[in-house]
Amino acid sequence: MNKKLHKDILTDDDDNKFEGGAEDSSIENIKSSVEAILSELGEDGGREGLLKTPLRVAKAYKFFTKGYKEDADKILNGAIFNEHYDEMVIVKDIDFFSLCEHHMLPFYGKCHVAYIPNGKIVGLSKIPRIVEMYARRLQVQERMTREIGDLIFKELNPKGVGVVTEARHLCMMMRGVEKQNSVATASCMLGVFKSDEKTRQEFLKLIGK
């Protein structure tokens, strides 16, 4: 590739903005790997449509996996409050996007989270942020669901936590069994959500399950 053209690609303002800043050497490493993949696929990395692809892919994957650099304490940021409230709190239909760790293909869907306070509540916007933190990593749906529930249970010490995720997996839709309408559901029930059938059923009814 022409050296001047290669330099212009790397310094393009729109395509050189990524998580971690321009000094992040991992971007260059990912970019080089994508260039190698394109070559192995039989593509010409020097053609117009692919000139900026390696950098774009590197930026995208840094964004898709930004959850590795996020911290639960910073997300919660002191937004846990003492409150005398003991009824179920639900945040449902939280959209999420993640990457299957087996094929690095997307899976996406909705997450429903509920907890019953035990003297403490959390700012409602923090729950989708927790979902986002765990989703933006290489994941399996089952582990992601459990991680969300475990964190809320640990930080709030509530009477119980319930988490249900529903997702479509492109590794099932685009390859393998190629079933485009399959939806996978995973759940994590802790405390009274696990021990008390009525509480669990109330949660499932309220989220439409």
Could you tell me which of 65, 154, 81, 153 has the C-alpha nearest to residue 113? 153
Catalytic residue among 141, 147, 166, 188: 141
Catalytic residue among 111, 147, 166, 169: 169
Catalytic residue among 102, 142, 180, 201: 102
- DSSP structure string for 79-115: -EEE----S-EEEEEEEEEEEETTT--EEEEEEEEEE
CA distance 78 to 82: 11
- Residue 202 CB contacts under 8 Å (≥ 6 apart), including other chains: 88
Catalytic residue among 28, 83, 101, 142: 101
For this structure, is 112 an active site residue?
Answer: no
Catalytic residue among 19, 43, 70, 103: 103
Catalytic residue among 100, 112, 132, 147: 100
Catalytic residue among 19, 155, 171, 202: 171
For this structure, is 188 an active site residue?
Answer: no
List the catalytic residues.
Answer: 100-103, 141, 169, 171
